[in-house]
Amino acid sequence: MAIQVVTTEQSTLFTIRTKHTTYQMKADEYGVLLHLWYGASVEGDMSYLLDYPDVGFSGNLYEAENRRTYSLNTLPLEYATEGVGDFRIPAVAATHADGSNALDLRYQSYNILKGKYAIAGLPAVYADEDEAETLEIVLKDTATDLQVTLRYGVLPELDMLTRCVSIQNLGTTPITLTKAASFCLDLPYGKWEWMHFHGRHAMERITERTPLIHGIQESSSTRGTSSHHQNPTAILCTPDCTETNGSCFGAAFLYSGSFQTKIEYDQMRQARMVMGLHPDLFRWELQPNATFDTPEVLFTYSDSGLETLSHRFQKTIREHVCRGKYQKIERPVLINNWEATYFDFNEEKILKIAEEAARLGVDMLVLDDGWFGKRDDDCSGLGDWFVNEQKLRGGLGTLVQKVKALGMRFGIWFEPEMISEDSDLYRTHPDWAIQIPGRNPMRSRYQLLLDLSNPDVQDYLYERISAILNSADISYVKWDMNRSISDWYTALLPANRQGELPHRYVLGVYALLERLTSAFPEVLFEGCSGGGGRFDAGMLYYCPQIWCSDDTDAYERTIIQYGTSFFYPVSAVGSHVSVVPNHQTGRVTPIETRAVTAMAGSFGYELDLNLLSDEEKESVTKQIQQFKEYGSLIHNGTYYRLSNPLQDAYALWAFVSEDKKEVLVQGMIFRTEANMVRHCVPLRGLDAEAVYRTKDGAAYTGDTLMHAGVLLPKSWGDYYPVSMHFVSE
């Protein structure tokens, strides 16, 4: 069994074992649940490490009497609370009926279950009974009837753990939750650096690594989404940690709304990481006999560097978070009309793009914004999900039939969560928009948001989107969301419960997505929020791929995709070839380089193919053929980061097949210099004894490629593409 429990008169010791790790905690003689160890596999009771001095101004537990070395302010705790002497970051906080805020959680019982727990209404890792176990530890407040159940999902072969928390009010009066984090990890040993993934619209998930300071560091979002600006993931690593060496812990929040990750380095040189719902946008009235379930955190430890950490997250998210028909299969090569036409199109323009795309080998045409309602710019029409037959004179069904006659499939864009004030829906239901009575709402992109916590709104959107999807043979939906959320207010809740809306909004989004993906299992749903503004594992539970960024510049995409790869699988990354000069940066890169970069994801095009030269069109045909040849390797192979584009003179990555017989090395050389020395880069993950050959007949042993490396091609011009394919005998 992966979960072992040893009970004595003094304590209960919990040990969770995976293939390469041990996680251990203990309910001690006072019922306090202490964290003992998370790291490489070890044997025995690790509580011998808890040797603490009498630390001034660190209060002592009442039952410990004059035992001044026993303090909740210094001990590593499994789920930290506030108001009872631990002055570090709490994981949970509540206000009781008498106005007090203290929570003193003590151990009550445990339960071990086969398989992996699920969370009603929320995304969560799933696994078969023979792949996972669940540990439940029940804690209870000493003075009230608040009960907390810590849930641990264990996937031993993947070296993955999950955590979530159920908080239940067993009393007779309401309790107000003001913080309910999903994950609390105390590390009483080691020296750590923090990696997080920051950014902005059109430049998301930029990797930043910094030493922990004595104090508190934070990455978070209060935007109603996980955001372009911080990703709901974090890594703690030792200063010597590299891709292949050193210790590191990683955590990913399976949630698509506002979040907070806080890390505190305390007076004892201990690190605490707390991850969960952002408390500034959370307040939940927990009625008697009611339960609140937090979202889930997925986490792991590696003692062999960041590469191992990433491989575990990529595999787990792809195989145990993503669902449905497109979980593992290769995706169609698509062309999106957005950067080709923006709002200025009609049926003839779209068909002209489709005809050329079909001739060059593209599998699917995606019709982006502007096909519905009164929608000639971004100031009107959102919410009116009815086909604009002035643009599409034969209706959507006729257009789809014509596209299918070309041998292509058809996809379509929605922005379901939004509403324009200039829309029939707003004129009929202004009460459905999120806005505070008596205040002018904040506009963004000149649009407001629908209150997705409202079941009537969910029903309307389900009805309208279903009607469109049933009206024609549609194979793909791009689900966009183009603003941050403010002006939080809903008429459905009383004044003292308005703090519930931000979380209820996300639950509404999930409920609608669950209904639609269940009703249309053959449709590929792609998430989008101005590109990468909601790129998180929670959204991947419903949409197996997400538009990685609105920045389609090939050079900047190497940086964005580099940061994305620390947690997310390549198959989840929507990535396209776009026009030059690039619409976001004005940069000019070769079409071959744009294709190589876009192939590190779900491949497609974002331009008008008719405007390309004959030579460029020939390149497009070759690129599509190449992607289809390598597609299985790209999506199913093991991904290796061979450079850091923020530091190196090139961006380079590789895909290695599971049997290690096939290797694809791709990337770009950023600049070419006169008399330039060629770059030599070692590969990883190969069979040392195998002989690998290129298409031109050159042969290398695996150990040669891994130790001496591959010579990158002689470059000519800036942003020079790299693509090398090796197959073993």
Q: Which residue has the tokens 């096939």?
A: 662
Contact indicator for 284, 174 with CB cutoff of 8 Å: no
Contact indicator for 504, 498 with CB cutoff of 8 Å: no
Q: What angle do CA 111, 114, 119 make, to 5 degrees?
A: 80
Given 536, 550, 606, 608, which residue is catalytic? 536
Cis peptide leading into residue 581 (ω within 30°):
yes
Contact indicator for 591, 618 with CB cutoff of 8 Å: no
Q: Which residue has the tokens 């934070």?
A: 218
Q: At 263, which amino acid appears?
A: I
Tokens of 16: 């969770």
Query: Where is 312: in which H helix or E strand?
Result: helix 306-320
Contact indicator for 229, 221 with CB cutoff of 8 Å: yes
Nearest CA to 90 out of 258, 276, 297, 324 is that of 276
Beta bridge partners of 293: 166
Tokens of 288: 């008697």
Nearest CA to 331 out of 52, 701, 604 is that of 604
Tokens of 217: 């560091």
Q: DSSP readout, 165-180?
A: EEEEE-SSS-EEEEEE
Give the relative orientation of helices 395-405 and 347-360 as an angle to the nearest 10 degrees.
Answer: 20
In the chain, how long is the greatest CA-to-CA distance?
Answer: 85
Q: List C-alpha distances in Å: 722 to 121, 394, 604, 650.
A: 44, 45, 19, 10
Beta bridge partners of 251: 234, 299
Beta strands per DSSP E along 571-717:
573-578, 602-606, 638-641, 650-656, 662-669, 680-681, 691-693, 699-701, 710-711
Given 616, 648, 687, 718, which residue is catalytic? 616
- The answer to whether residue 459 is catalytic is no
Tokens of 520: 């249309």
First to last CA, the chain: 41
In sign, the C-alpha dihedral spanning 356, 362, 366, 368 is negative
Pairing between strand 334-336 and 602-606?
Answer: parallel
Tokens of 581: 């000069």
Nearest CA to 329 out of 320, 319, 321, 339 is that of 319
- The answer to whether residue 616 is catalytic is yes
Query: Where is 621: in which H helix or E strand?
Result: helix 614-636
Q: DSSP readout, 679-722?
A: PEE---S--TT-EEE-TT--EEEHHHHHHT-EEPPPP-SSSEEE
> Which active-site residues does the annotation give?
536, 616
